[in-house]
A = this chain, B = another copy of it.
Amino acid sequence: MTSRFEPMSLTRPGVSDKGNQQILEAAAEAFNRRGFAATSIDDIADALGATKGRIYHYYRSKLDIFLDVLVASMRDLLEKLQPILTDSERSPEQRLYDAAYMHATTMMTRRSFSRVAIQGLEAPVLAEAQTKRADAVNLFIGLRDRYEDGFADLVEQGRASGVFRDVDPRLATKPIFGALNWINMWYDPAQESQAGVAAIAEEFAVFIVNGLRRREPVPGP
């Protein structure tokens, strides 16, 4: 078996990377719009100005395309998180702020991919995919768990240093991702009346760090 985080191809063997990427983008957009079940292969082909023959040249099934979007999206988030986690110049609460800010921004600027990734977090979808493509689903879950662990570690460090309340880091992670992932549900770049990306990301990051913070200052030694 391949290592859990090695690149793993969900495309048919030997296809070009460029055509592949085009299909992936179009699929992300289509899945984003209507969800996995309601999106047909024709929808994706239409978005490309092509017919399904093209799609099936690259992918064996609709599920494979979906999982490929999922994995790409999770990988992108994880790559952005890594340098934040290891920035030794920033305190745990500052790093949590940075991580939340990054995640919020990604939800707004890479809407299609991140929304599809969130669909993939839903238990029923994953459970069904498990039976058909356990390898890819396990890869995705592995990436997701590493990502969540990163946030939980920051919470734990902030707790240990006395800045955060005495919370269970795993449980504390839930409202954080809830608040952040939910952005996908309401943020609409076309709607002028909404605040800008930076203002929203800032408010969310403040809200999250503040929510975890102890109210009283820690007594000095």
Chain A residues proximal to chain B, CB less than 8 Å: 33-38, 121-125, 165, 167-168, 171-172, 174-183, 185-186, 188, 195, 200, 203-204, 206-208, 210-213, 215
Contacts and interface: CB of A to CB of B under 8 A. Distances in A.
Contacts of A212: 207, 210
Interface of A is mostly: helix
A165 B195 CA distance: 17
Contact of A203 (B35, B38, B123, B171): B171
Given A165-B206, A165-B210, 6 more contacts: A34-B124, A35-B125, A179-B182, A210-B210, A210-B211, A210-B213
Best-surrounded residue of A33, A175, A212 (most CB of chain B within 10 A): A175
Given A179-B178, A182-B181, A207 B200 contact: no
Best-surrounded residue of A167, A174, A177, A210 (most CB of chain B within 10 A): A174
Contact of A124 (B35, B178, B208): B35
A169 to B, nearest CB: 12
B182 A175 contact: yes
Given A207-B211, A210-B215, A178 B182 contact: yes
Nearest to A195: B171
Contacts of A211: 207-208, 210-211
Contacts of A182: 174-175, 177-179, 181-182
A121 B34 CA distance: 13
B210 A175 contact: no
Contacts of A171: 195, 200, 203
A179 B207 CA distance: 11
15 contacts: A34-B124, A35-B35, A37-B37, A37-B38, A165-B206, A168-B195, A171-B203, A175-B180, A175-B208, A177-B182, A179-B182, A181-B182, A208-B211, A210-B211, A211-B211
Contacts of A124: 33-35, 38
